[in-house]
Amino acid sequence: MNLDINQNHFKLFGLPEGFALQRDELDRVYRILQSQVHPDRFTHAGENEKRMSMQWAMHVNEAYQTLKKPIKRAAYLLSLHGIDPKIETNTRMPHNFLVAQMEWREALEEANEARDGVRLSALETRLQAEMAVLYREAEAELDQRHDYAAAATTFRKLLFLEKLGEEIHYAITELDD
Amino acid sequence: MALLQISEPGESPEPHEARLAAGIDLGTTNSLVASVRSGIAVALPDADGHTLLPSIVRYLPGGAIEVGRVAQAMQAKDPKNTIASAKRFMGRGLKDAHADNTSYDFIDAPGMLQLRTAAGPKSPVEVAAEILKVLRQRAEESLGGELHGVVVTVPAYFDDAQRQATKDAAKLAGINVLRLLNEPTAAAIAYGLDNAAEGIYAVYDLGGGTFDLSILRMSKGVFEVMATSGDAALGGDDFDHRLMCWIVDQARLAPLSAEDMRLLLFKSRAAKEHLTGNDAAQISAKLASGEMVSLKLTRQVFQDMTQHLVAKTLTPTRKALRDAGLGVAEVKGVVMVGGATRMPHVQQAVGTLFKQAPLNNLDPDKVVALGAAMQANALAGNRAAGDDWLLLDVIPLSLGLETMGGLVEKIIPRNSTIPVARAQEFTTFKDGQTAMAVQVVQGERELVADCRSLARFELRGIPPMVAGAARIRVSFQVDADGLLAVSAREMSTGIEASVAVKPSYGLVDEDITRMLRDSFDHAKDDVHVRALREQQVEGRRLLEATQAALAADRTLLGADESKLIDTELAALEQALSCTDHRRIRGNIERVNKATEDFAARRMDQSVRRALAGRDINALNI
């Protein structure tokens, strides 16, 4: 096995390449890897080994986060297939999706103005349900149909919703402060 | 299932040669040192049997310094020279210092504020170093030798400047810092290892001056921090201060002198502590003017006047839960840490929020130091076989850069597991722009003005291009201590600028050197002796580590490489007995250069072996 710090993250974790993920296995291998490379294991080693440990630990953390978070995992899979979905953000999104986006934004703005935490939480729950549907679509496109162009569109939709989710999260936090 | 058994990759020390290691909890109110002896972490007492050292330092004219109880006894008589709660000013500028601590003479120094004392201006870093020196000495006397290394704890919510200041203080006290460890994480280690805890736990840590709330997943010897939040300026001190204001109000006192203020703060603290186990407290004080204060305070009245402070801890608590994506039902237990958690209304509020009684089975004053001692013991390489655990901590605050319009672009979000590196590309705003100012900020807000500025540096020599054509890659790197380093590079020319994030709030190296010089008795010790000792320690460590690595993995080397390393090691060993620290440094660098590939190959091998063992291990679950 050729161990290269730049190798495919799925290979590093010994997981099949795909959107469907064995989360327990990912967590387990992550811990095995960190228990080997973490700087805490090298506090009295030489400078080379310390530097190496730092690089590896940072890389393992990055790879773990990429595979763990569905949106990052989808982006990573697309990039492995030579698609950079972000370059195409100006691609036209389906009309009904854009309309739905505007409705989401209005709902967020209203709840925010009313400083209504209950409505914000309800929005968050609805958003998560909608994202779950899109993730199932992405899984079918990436793992079964291998239709990466369709997956890229789904990913862009998810990107919109993810951003919205962050804004809702931020609004809830601000309200609590 | 037991965690996989893994040998120490760095080296394997002789079992009988345990390295002396200690954990220090540098607290706002009290500090203490602990160490693992015969496998058990214990707090080390002073000659009088006290383990807690009041974090109070008194400067006398002529240079004498008192630390701890002696200083505490003088705080009302000599308030300006007797510094308490210096931790609140670590890495802070004058504008951050709270107006309530007006008994000090602050000096608005660049970066961090200073305090005017009879022994001259003192930085909070110097004050903290005095406390650390006393604890270091206590540990060395108690353990019977020089300390190999120390884990120093910091509030999880400390920002980069505060962490750097703490590390500087340890350096000033002559301490080899193995790691800066977050206080709630230290408490989780002590609690988790003692109780074989598995599952998701919250640590509620209300100390003298800081509040932290961390949520951890403890699983098979791994302590993984999922989220942390807090308030770096909220603690037991604030309850004392609130009570003092009540006394002034009730007794209709005129504005207080510094002496009377310290006296009443002291009385307030005593009353607060009394009310933990009693329904009422009597407050009696004789002011400098001769005026007598005599008030009765019930627990209910005290709780009513401080309930807003308790409520202030619940906001970060909810935030951490949200960030971890958890509901309270998923939290298995809440570990209470810090003396201020003894207050019944704190216990009650936490119990109500989490819908369960908090865990109080560890001494809230000592648990942080005990956890730090366990971590120090492990980091020093003293862990016993099977006693294997791993800590995965996070950064508490997001790190980012200023972009056009005073907006913050976040590069590393809060709660990212450390160590972590992230890079992002930026471009120029104007045609022909040849320089770029990079402002590094920490915080959650969208505007730079609302975040803390950590550093500012300039990347010059960008070749003139049209706006938007240059590609400037800015890299952030946070190490295992939670400290940040930033570098920037123009991609087409390779022009580079980098900065260890210290200038805005931390101390620059010249300050440290000056303080070191000031703090030494010239006859006994000086900067040169210190530098020599540091290089000797470093050199010996490298020698031992490399010899152990060769013993284990010489097969990874070709004959020439092997010979070269042996030659360089022999040269280093010889250099270690000389008195020229620069020569030792040179040899250290030569060994490092010769072993570069070797280190990489060893790391690859260890990762490969761990992964190969994975499938076998899977059968055991």
The answer to whether A47 contacts B542, with C-beta atoms less than 8 Å apart, is yes
In chain B the first and final C-alpha atoms are separated, in Å, by 6
**With an 8 Å Cβ cutoff, is A154 touching chain B?**
no
The enclosing H or E element of B206 equals strand B199-206
**With an 8 Å Cβ cutoff, is A62 touching chain B?**
yes
Q: Report whether pLDDT(B619) > 60.
A: no
Residues B113, B118, B119, B125, CA torsion sign: negative
On average, the pLDDT of chain B sits at: 87
Tens of pLDDT, residue by residue over B579-604, are 888 899 999 999 999 999 999 899 88
Among the listed residues B326, B262, B301, the one whose alpha carbon sits nearest the alpha carbon of residue B80 = B262
CA distance B114 to B105: 8
Residues of B noted as catalytic: 25, 87, 183, 205
What's the confidence (pLDDT) of residue B341?
A: 97
What's the confidence (pLDDT) of residue B12?
A: 42
The answer to whether B421 contacts A42, with C-beta atoms less than 8 Å apart, is no
pTM of the model: 0.87
Among the listed residues B436, B425, B423, B430, the one whose alpha carbon sits nearest the alpha carbon of residue B468 = B430
The answer to whether A56 contacts B542, with C-beta atoms less than 8 Å apart, is no
Residues of A in contact with B380 (CB under 8 A): 43-44
The answer to whether B546 contacts A14, with C-beta atoms less than 8 Å apart, is no
Q: Which residue has the higher pLDDT, B404 or B145?
A: B145
CA atoms within 13 A on the CB side of B137: 11
What is the share, in percent, of chain B residues with pLDDT greater than 70?
A: 89
Tens of pLDDT, residue by residue over A28-75, are 999 999 998 999 999 878 888 999 999 999 999 999 999 999 999 999
B352 burial (CB, 10 Å; 0-12 / 13-18 / 19+) is exposed
Tens of pLDDT, residue by residue over B167-219, are 999 989 999 999 999 999 999 999 988 888 899 999 999 999 999 999 999 98
What's the confidence (pLDDT) of residue B381?
A: 85
Q: Which residue has the higher pLDDT, B385 or B491?
A: B491
Q: How confident is the model at residue B247 (pLDDT cuts 50, 70, 90)?
A: very high
Among the listed residues B541, B392, B501, B11, the one whose alpha carbon sits nearest the alpha carbon of residue A47 = B541
Chain B nearest-CA distance from A44, in A, is: 7
Q: How confident is the model at residue B108 (pLDDT cuts 50, 70, 90)?
A: confident
What's the mean pLDDT in B445-457?
A: 80
Q: How confident is the model at residue B101 (pLDDT cuts 50, 70, 90)?
A: low
Among the listed residues B139, B135, B122, the one whose alpha carbon sits nearest the alpha carbon of residue B55 = B135
Q: Report whether pLDDT(B508) > 70.
A: no
Residues of B in contact with A28 (CB under 8 A): 614, 618
DSSP letter (8 states) at residue B447? B
Among the listed residues B127, B153, B126, the one whose alpha carbon sits nearest the alpha carbon of residue B55 = B127
- Cα distances (Å, whole numbers) of residue B292 to A12, B286, B287, B542: 73, 5, 6, 65
Residues contacting B389, CB < 8 A, separation 6+: B3, B189, B193, B221, B222, B223, B378
The enclosing H or E element of B32 equals strand B30-37
Residues of B in contact with A64 (CB under 8 A): 417
- Cα distances (Å, whole numbers) of residue B455 to A71, B166, B380, B414, B458: 32, 18, 33, 18, 10
CATH number at A95-176: 1.20.1280.20
What's the confidence (pLDDT) of residue B505?
A: 46
Is A9-68 a CATH 3.30.70.1520 domain? no
The three-class DSSP label of residue B234 is: coil
What is the distance of C-alpha B562 from the center of its chain?
40
CA angle A119, A120, A122 (to 5 degrees): 60
Q: What pairing do the DSSP bridges indicate for beta strands B199-206 and B56-59?
A: unpaired
Residues of A in contact with B417 (CB under 8 A): 61, 64-65
Q: Which of B4, B219, B596 minimises the CB distance to A32?
A: B4
Q: Report whether pLDDT(B516) > 90.
A: no
DSSP letter (8 states) at residue B481? T
Number of Cβ pairs < 8 A linking chain A and chain B: 139
Q: Which residue has the higher pLDDT, A94 or B138?
A: B138
CA distance B267 to B256: 14
The answer to whether residues B172 and B129 touch, using CB atoms and an 8 Å cutoff, is yes
What is the share, in percent, of chain B residues with pLDDT greater than 90?
A: 57
The answer to whether residues B367 and B190 touch, using CB atoms and an 8 Å cutoff, is yes
Q: Report whether pLDDT(B103) > 50.
A: yes
> Cis bond leading into B15, ω under 30°?
no
- DSSP characters for B111-123? SS-EEEETTEEE-
Residues of A in contact with B595 (CB under 8 A): 46, 48
Q: What pairing do the DSSP bridges indicate for beta strands B149-154 and B177-182?
A: parallel
Q: Report whether pLDDT(B503) > 50.
A: no
What's the confidence (pLDDT) of residue B306?
A: 97
The enclosing H or E element of B459 equals strand B452-460
CA distance B540 to B537: 5
* B114-117, strands of its sheet edge to edge: B106-107, B114-117, B120-122
Which 3-state string (H, E, C) describes B387-444?
Answer: CCCEEECECCCCEEEEEHHHEEEEEECCCCECCEEEEEEECCCCCCCCEEEEEEEECC
Chain A nearest-CA distance from B495, in A, is: 23
The answer to whether B596 contacts A38, with C-beta atoms less than 8 Å apart, is no
The answer to whether residues B163 and B177 touch, using CB atoms and an 8 Å cutoff, is no
Q: Report whether pLDDT(B113) > 70.
A: yes
The answer to whether B608 contacts A3, with C-beta atoms less than 8 Å apart, is yes
Exposure letters A54-83 (e unless 16+ CB within 10 A, then b): bbbbbbbbbbbbbbeebbebbbbbbeeeeb
Name the residue type at position A160: F
Tens of pLDDT, residue by residue over B474-485, are 889 999 999 998
Residues of B in contact with A29 (CB under 8 A): 611, 614
CA distance B302 to B275: 8
Chain B nearest-CA distance from A96, in A, is: 30
Chain B nearest-CA distance from A42, in A, is: 5
CA distance A39 to B178: 11
Among the listed residues A84, A96, A69, the one whose alpha carbon sits nearest the alpha carbon of residue A157 = A96
CA distance B335 to B317: 13
Q: How confident is the model at residue B515 (pLDDT cuts 50, 70, 90)?
A: low
Residue ranges, CATH 1.10.287.110, chain A: 9-68
What is the distance of C-alpha B217 from the center of its chain?
21
Exposure letters A105-131 (e unless 16+ CB within 10 A, then b): eebbeebbeeeeeeebeebbeebeebb
Residues of A in contact with B390 (CB under 8 A): 31, 34-35, 38, 40
CA distance B367 to B186: 8
Residue ranges, CATH 1.20.1280.20, chain A: 95-176
Contacts 24+ apart (CB under 8 A), B340-345: B340/B206, B340/B207, B340/B208, B340/B235, B340/B236, B340/B239, B341/B204, B341/B205, B341/B206, B342/B273, B342/B276, B343/B239, B343/B272, B343/B275, B343/B276, B343/B310, B344/B276, B344/B299, B344/B303, B345/B303, B345/B306, B345/B307, B345/B310
Task: Point out the residues of chain A with pLDDT beneath 70.
Answer: 1-6, 86-91
The answer to whether B10 contacts A177, with C-beta atoms less than 8 Å apart, is no
Q: Which of residues 104-133 of A touch B (CB under 8 A)?
A: none
What's the confidence (pLDDT) of residue B506?
A: 47
CA atoms within 13 A on the CB side of A99: 3
Q: Which of B420, B596, B599 minimises the CB distance to A61?
A: B420
Tens of pLDDT, residue by residue over B526-557, are 667 778 888 888 898 899 889 989 999 999 99
Q: Which of A47, A48, A58 minimises the CB distance to B419?
A: A58
What's the mean pLDDT in B459-475?
A: 84
Name the residue type at position B143: L
What is the distance of C-alpha A58 from the center of its chain?
17
What's the mean pLDDT in B343-357?
A: 97
What's the confidence (pLDDT) of residue B497?
A: 66
What's the confidence (pLDDT) of residue B504?
A: 45
Among the listed residues B41, B77, B39, the one whose alpha carbon sits nearest the alpha carbon of residue B56 = B77
Residues of B in contact with A34 (CB under 8 A): 222, 390, 392
- Cα distances (Å, whole numbers) of residue B101 to A124, B26, B88, B283: 43, 20, 10, 21
Q: How confident is the model at residue B520 (pLDDT cuts 50, 70, 90)?
A: low
Tens of pLDDT, residue by residue over B28-72, are 999 999 999 988 999 999 999 999 999 999 999 888 999 999 999
The three-class DSSP label of residue B540 is: helix
**With an 8 Å Cβ cutoff, is A3 touching chain B?**
yes
Phi and psi at A8, nearest 5°, equal -50, 130
Q: Which of B178, B480, B542 minimises the CB distance to A46?
A: B542
| Residue B229: closest C-alpha in chain A | A173
Q: At what angle do helices B367-379 and B183-195 cross, to 10 degrees?
A: 80
Q: Which of B319, B599, B618 minimises the CB distance to A52?
A: B599
The answer to whether A35 contacts B390, with C-beta atoms less than 8 Å apart, is yes
Phi-psi region of B437 (alpha: psi -120 to 50; beta: other; left: phi over 0): beta
- DSSP characters for A79-100? HHTT--GGGGTTSPPPHHHHHH
